[in-house]
A and B are shown apart, each in its own frame.
Chain A
Amino acid sequence: MLQPLTVRPARSAGESRIERTLSYADAIREAADQEMARDPSVIVFGLDVDDPKAIQGTTRGLLDTYGPERVFGTPLSEDAMTGAAVGMALAGLRPIHVHIRMDFLLLAMNQLVNVAAKTRYMYSGQVHLPLVIRAMIGKSWGQGAQHSQGLHSFFMHVPGLKVVAPATPFDAKGCLAAAVRDDDPVLYVEHRLLHFQQGPVPEAPYAVRPGKARVTAAGEDITVVGISWMQVECLRARHYLAEIGIRAEVIDPVWLSPLDLNTIAESVEKTGRLLVVDTAWTCCGASAEIVAAVGERLQGIRDLKLKRLGFAPTTCPTTPSLEELFYPNARTIAAAARNLVEDADTGWMPEERPELQEVAFRGPF
C-alpha cells in the first residue's frame, strides 16, 4: 500500500513536529510578508504584482499591508526595472523583483550578468547588492516555446549570482527569507506546478541558508538528484523503482549556487550511480555541472555510472502529445534509473499509476 505523496523536507530534530500545512504559493507570500514586516527596506515589484491575481497569490495582500511605495506593478521594462532594482539595492533597499516567467529574464540579462553579478567584485566589496529575482518556470497546458524555459544554468555559470530552486513549501518560505536577507543577488527559481504543492510550513520566520542540499529519501542503489519540479517527479519515480526492488536515494540540491557537492558526492560514493534530473535542457545545464563535479570528485575513488535527464533537445511544443514527450516524468526517470543500476538497456517502463500523475494544473495560464 502506497503512502500519500508529499515531498517533505528532511527535518532537523528541533523541527520534528510542524502541524501547519501551507501551499508553496502561500509559503512564498508568507515569507515576503514576514520579511517586509521585519525589515522596512524590503520592497516588492514587477509586472502585475499588485493586480487582482497577485502572481498566483504569492503577493496577495502585500499592497494593502505595505502600500504602493513598497509594492508596485511596473512598466513593461524588464531591462530598466532590473537596473533600477540594482540601484535600489546599492542604496540600501532590499528589492524583490518578480517575473511571472523566467523567459522574461532574457530582457534583463545585461543588468543581471553585467551589473548585478559584477558589482561587489568590481567595486572590491565596498557595496552590497541585496537583490532577489523571483522567476517562474511554466509547464503544461500548452505553455510553449517562450513560457516554459528553465534557464537557471545561465545564472549558475556566472560568478556573483546565487541561484536557489526550492521544491517544497518549507523551502519556498525559508529560501525566500534567506534570499532577502542575503547581501548578494539571488535568483529564486519557482516552478509553476510547485505552487500547488502542499506541505508543512512553520509559522515563525526562518531561513534556509545557502549551500546545503537535502537527502529527501534514503536508498542504497542509486543517487537521484531532482531539481525544482523534477524533485517531485524523482520522488514519484522512487515508488516505481521500489516495486522492482531498487532503492533510490533522492537528493534535492535546493541551492544550485552555491551547490552542496559534499552531500551529493557522499551519496554517490555509497551508491556508485548518479542520475540528475533537471527541469531544463541538459547541455551545459545544472545536471551537466553536477555530474561533472561529482565525476571530478570521485574519479579514481569509486567506479561510477552517470546520467542526466532533462528537456528534450528541442523547443517546447504546445500540443499535449509532443509536450508529454518533451519532459522527463516519474516513469522515464524510473526507467533511466533501472538501466543505470542494471547497466543495461532493459527496455522497462513502469505501468502508469494514476496517483503518480500530475493533476494539479489545468490552465489556462
Chain B
Amino acid sequence: MSARLYRLLYRIRRVEEEIARVYPTDRIRSPVHLSIGQEAVSVGVCEALEPRDVVFGTYRGHALYLARGGDLRRMIAELYGKATGCTKGKGGSMHLIAPERGVMGMSAVVGTTIANAAGYAYALKFRREPAIIASFFGDGATEEGVFAETLNFAVLKRLPILFVCENNQYAIHTHQSRRQGTPAICQRARAFGMPAEQVDGDLTGLIQRAREVVAEVRAGGGPAFLEVMTYRWREHVGPGFDYHLGFRDEGEAAPWIVADPVARLAAELRPTERARIESEVAEEIADAFAFAEASPFPAAAELTLDVFKEEHHVAATHREAGAECW
C-alpha cells in the first residue's frame, strides 16, 4: 500500500521538479502552476474515487491529472506545445484533460469549473449512473460568486458531488486572512446544507475520510465538502520560489516541509524498494521529456481546427457558407 502511494506522490513531485529544472531553457512554452507540496490532496482524494468517477480541477492541475492516471508523455508534450500533447498544444498546462481517465477539464479562471462539475453531476444523477464527481478548487475560489451559487444548486438537487477545497492559504501573494472576513470555509459550506469538514494534509487520514465521505455521496446522500489544508512551496506561477518577495517567510513553510507526505512515505519503505521506485520513476520521466522533445509541433492547419465541429463554420464571413443548408 505505502509503496504504491509513494510511487504516486513521488512521481508527481519529481515530474514537477523536472519541469522546474527544464523551465529556464524556454522549451516549455506554457505558464506552469506547480503543485509541489500539495500533491497529497489530489492523490488522497483520488484514492477514494473509482475509475468511472469524474474530476474537474484548476490551473494548478498537474497533480490531479497524474493522480487520476493521465498519460505523462502527453502531459509533458502538452507543456512543450507539441502535436502529441493531451490537447495537441492548444490548451497548455492550465487546461489539461484526460476524458479516458475522467479528467474533464481545468480552468485558468478561478472558481469556474465548480459549476461545470455540478452540471456534470446533474447529468450523472439524471442518467442514474453510479459515478460521482469530485470538484477541486482553491481557497480563493470560495470567494467567487459561482462558489456560492453552485453549492446552493448542488444541495437543491442533491447532486452526487464532493467539493474539495485545496486550502494552501494563498491566492497568488495574498493570504486568506486578508481576503476573507472569517476563515470558516466549512461553516459557509454547511450553511448551504451540506456536511463539511476540515482535514489536515496527512495522506493516510485524508484517504480514510475521503473514502467515508465518497461512500456517503455515492449512496445518494447529496453533496459533501472537504477542506484540505496544504501549503504551496513554490511561487504562484513559474518554477521558482517567492519568499524573497516578502509576503511570506520560510518559517511559515517549515512545518509543512517537515510534515511532507512524500518524505514521510519514503521513510516507511525498505531502502531497496524505495530505490527501485525512484529509479523507475526517473526512467519514466526521462522517457516523457524525450518524447516531448522529439515530438513535432502541430501543423499550421491545426490553427483553425476544433473551433466548431464543422470546420466550414469557422470565420464563415470569409468562407463559402451554406453547403449543408436546406
Residues of chain A having any CB pair with chain B under 8 Å: 12, 43, 69, 74-75, 77, 79-93, 95, 110-111, 114-115, 119-128, 159-160, 162, 174, 182-184, 206-212, 257-263, 289, 293
Contact = CB atoms under 8 A, between A and B. Distances in A.
23 contacts: A43-B126, A74-B153, A80-B149, A83-B119, A84-B119, A86-B119, A87-B116, A87-B118, A90-B116, A91-B124, A120-B307, A121-B306, A123-B87, A126-B97, A159-B315, A182-B309, A184-B308, A211-B321, A212-B321, A212-B326, A258-B316, A259-B321, A289-B317
Contact of A124 (B123, B306, B314, B323): B306
B326 A206 contact: yes
Interface centre among B117, B122, B309 (most CB of A within 10 A): B122
Contacts of A119: 105
Interface centre among A86, A174, A263 (most CB of B within 10 A): A86
A261 B326 contact: no
A77 B152 contact: yes
B121 interface: yes
Given A80-B153, A184-B308, A212-B325, 6 more contacts: A110-B109, A111-B115, A126-B87, A209-B325, A258-B321, A293-B317
Interface stretch (B88-96, B170-178, B279-287): B88-96
A93 to B, nearest CB: 5
B243 to A, nearest CB: 32
B145 to A, nearest CB: 6
Given A123-B97, A209-B326, A262-B321, A257 B153 contact: no
B90 A121 contact: yes
Nearest to A77: B149
Given A159-B307, A160-B307, A87 B313 contact: no
A86 B326 contact: no
Nearest to B123: A91
Interface residues of B, number: 55
A122 B90 contact: yes
Interface centre among B108, B116, B314, B318 (most CB of A within 10 A): B116
Contacts of A77: 149-150, 152-153
Query: Lowest 3 A-B CB distances belong to which pairs?
Result: A83-B115, A87-B119, A258-B316
A75 B156 contact: yes
B67 interface: no
Interface centre among A91, A95, A114, A259 (most CB of B within 10 A): A91
B91 A124 contact: yes
Given A83-B146, A122-B87, A123-B105, A93 B123 contact: yes
Interface in B282-326: 305-310, 312-318, 320-326
A257 B152 CA distance: 35
Contacts of B312: 211, 258
B32 interface: no
B114 interface: yes
Nearest to A80: B149
B107 interface: yes
A87 B153 CA distance: 13
Contacts of A74: 153
B34 interface: no
Nearest to A211: B321
B324 A79 contact: no
A247 B312 CA distance: 34
Contacts of A128: 309
Contacts of B307: 120-121, 159-160
A83 B114 contact: yes
A125 B149 contact: no
Contacts of B124: 91
B314 A90 contact: no
Contacts of A211: 312-313, 316, 321-325
A88 B122 contact: yes
A319 to B, nearest CB: 34
B119 A91 contact: yes
B58 interface: no
B95 A122 contact: yes
A206 B326 CA distance: 9
Contacts of A91: 54, 119-120, 123-124
Contacts of A124: 87-88, 90-91, 306
Given A120-B308, A184-B308, A260-B321, A92 B326 contact: no
Contact of A259 (B109, B316, B326): B316
Contacts of B314: 159, 258
A87 B115 contact: yes
Given A90-B120, A126-B97, A79 B326 contact: no
A9 B56 CA distance: 45
A184 B99 CA distance: 18
B35 interface: no
B96 to A, nearest CB: 9
B149 A126 contact: no
A210 B99 CA distance: 28
Interface string B248-262: 000000000000000
A92 to B, nearest CB: 7
Contact of A257 (B95, B122, B316, B324): B316
B321 A125 contact: no
A123 B95 contact: yes
Given A87-B120, A115-B116, A79 B145 contact: yes
A84 B316 contact: no
Contacts of B56: 87
Given A90-B116, A211-B321, A83 B316 contact: no
A159 B307 CA distance: 7
A152 to B, nearest CB: 15
Contacts of A212: 321-322, 325-326
Nearest to B120: A87
A95 B91 CA distance: 25
A12 B152 CA distance: 49
Contact of A123 (B91, B305, B315, B322): B91
A10 to B, nearest CB: 11
B128 to A, nearest CB: 10
Given A183-B309, A261-B317, A84 B107 contact: no
Contacts of A87: 56, 115-123
